Structure 1
Amino acid sequence: MTQGRRRLVAYLRCSTIEQSTSGFGLDVQRAAIKEAAKVLDARIVATCADEGKSGALSIAERPGLAAALALVDNGVADGIIVRDLDRLAREVTVQEAIIGRVWMNDAAGVYVSLPAQEVPRDDPDDPMRTMMRKMSGLFHELDRMLIAKRLREGRRAKRAAGGHAEGPTPYGWRAEKRSETNPAGRLVPDPAEQGALARMKALAAQGESTRAIADVLTLEGYPTRRGGAWSHGAVARILKRYKDERQAS
């Protein structure tokens, strides 16, 4: 390790599920790491993030994590700091692979902000140290699995009630505002979008290409979901969705 203040790379991660359920977004993690760096008398030399990435993904599947580890490998940083070990991973095998990668450099360390400290290296004379870290990783993994299970159950219940379960509503439809009489947020036709959808289908039935259909819809002023001109890709996706639905019905 270099002399003087430790140089750490901050790693932030938040999955889509956690963004919607926990409130521990990237800004919260960034603030916690900043405070921990003061306690540790460390300097943050870089910040790498993976937004919308599951903690079960490997190093290769997380560009931000790969970049952070490369800084440690190359000697730019003396270690990596996270809010908690569950930001590194929510699967114990992945957690241990990441920690092991950092520890390949005898001078590098893994740090957390809750509380602000370095994760102790394995000691053959203290097997409980290793086991407690792995047990913590197993509980993080269990928590991820339970959250995913609850969300799946919620989506199934919503679909059973006739509501829109996940993702953006299909073009041509909108979700009604939830109420006591409509708890699931049923899908109802959107008049403006239904007009565009009907025109789109009619042009497709005439054999027009998706590019030609996009040009016609734009020229005739039919609305896109985000405003602006139609693209042939958007037309193709919408037509494919309705084709798939017809085949499935």
Structure 2
Amino acid sequence: MKLSGYLRVSTESQMDGFGLNVQEKAVRSWCRANGHRLVALHTDAGVSGAKDAADRPGLSAALYDIEKRTAEGLVVPRLDRLARAVTVQEATLALVWRYGGSMFAVDGGEVLRDDPDDPMRTAMREMAGVFAGLERRMIVKRMRDGRKAKAEAGRHAVGQYAFGLHGEGKGRERDAAPNPAEQAARDEIVRLRKAKQSYRVIAAALDAAGLRPRRADRWSAMAVRSVARRAGLS
């Protein structure tokens, strides 16, 4: 079966960690192992799974592949990459099926269509979506509570340190401090962006100079864009 793949990360850390590279390898391996052909791969980097498909260019493109029949189905690494809100999940699945496509998740195989004779099928899928949404909200709450506690203690209140900084110290004494290697990459991004270089050109220049992102092997244009925007550059 010809499949269109969809990958998503919602934070800068995922761009460098459980990111797109890991997800892509999982999707490609699953397609090979199950006899499917991956005809397209679409991504949304730094985009929340709570957003509708219309607000995600990558997901919109993947759905369009199915609508115009260049792909017969959609595959994602996990269903929570498709959506972190059950309403978005169900609306997206309905679109896939309305266009005549099939839906697959690497960690669970085919997501079967609703069957009026098997209401538990739909209920179990929706419950999984509800808990994915709950997990997202609990993570947000923990981060918010942590920032509040740090601020009350007079410490630097962040959920995750921006590129160019890292944490030093332990426990409540942990605070942001410059990361020399990342500072060098950040300064180069700022210099090249002010020289009107594109994100893609900057990514290649950083790789050539041996300046690495936080966890990934190579820079992506989206990761460069994220650092540039944090530095106040468009």
TM-score, normalisation: structure 2: 0.70
8 Å CA contact 1:177–1:185 kept in 2: the answer is yes
8 Å CA contact 1:10–1:46 kept in 2: the answer is yes
Q: Equivalent residue for 2:148?
A: 156
C-alpha change, 1:180 and 1:47, in structure 2 (3 Å) is: closer
- Cα distance in structure 1, aligned partners of 2:137 and 2:13: 12
Report deviation, 1:35. Answer: 1.4
Q: Quick check: 1:121 aligned with 2:113?
A: yes
Give the partner amino acid of 1:179. Answer: G
- The 5 Å alignment of 1:183-222 reads 183-185=173-175
* Residue of 30, 35, 50 corresponding to 2:24: 30
- Cα distance in structure 2, aligned partners of 1:176 and 1:105: 46
Q: Equivalent residue for 2:93?
A: 99
Per-residue displacement from partner, 1:118-158 (whole Å, max 9, x unpaired)? 11111110000111110110111111111111111111122
8 Å CA contact 1:163–1:187 kept in 2: the answer is no
C-alpha change, 1:120 and 1:178, in structure 2 (3 Å) is: same
Structure 1, 160-169 or 83-92: larger mean CA deviation: 160-169
Aligned residues: 187
8 Å CA contact 1:10–1:47 kept in 2: the answer is yes
8 Å CA contact 2:3–2:38 kept in 1: the answer is yes
* Residue of 68, 76, 88 corresponding to 1:74: 68
Q: Equivalent residue for 1:226?
A: 190
Per-residue displacement from partner, 1:164-201 (whole Å, max 9, x unpaired)? 223778xxxx979622497242689xxxxxxxxxxxxx
Between 1 and 2, higher relative CO (CA 8 Å, sep ≥ 6) is seen in 2
Report deviation, 1:54. Answer: 0.6
Give the partner amino acid of 1:9. Answer: S
C-alpha change, 1:105 and 1:147, in structure 2 (3 Å) is: same
3-state SS in 2 of match to 1:154: helix
Structure 2's unaligned 5+ residue stretches are 179-186, 196-230
C-alpha change, 1:131 and 1:16, in structure 2 (3 Å) is: same
Q: Equivalent residue for 2:134?
A: 142
Report deviation, 1:51. Answer: 0.7
TM-score, normalisation: structure 1: 0.66
Q: Quick check: 1:13 aligned with 2:11?
A: no
- Structure 1 vs Structure 2: percent identity of aligned residues? 42
3-state SS in 2 of match to 1:56: coil
* Residue of 51, 60, 64 corresponding to 2:54: 60
Structure 1, 150-159 or 72-81: larger mean CA deviation: 150-159
8 Å CA contact 1:33–1:81 kept in 2: the answer is yes
Q: Equivalent residue for 1:112?
A: 105
8 Å CA contact 1:10–1:44 kept in 2: the answer is yes
Q: Equivalent residue for 1:43?
A: 37
CA RMSD of aligned residues (A): 3.2
C-alpha change, 1:18 and 1:122, in structure 2 (3 Å) is: farther
Structure 1's unaligned 5+ residue stretches are 1-5, 189-222, 232-237, 239-249
C-alpha change, 1:18 and 1:124, in structure 2 (3 Å) is: farther
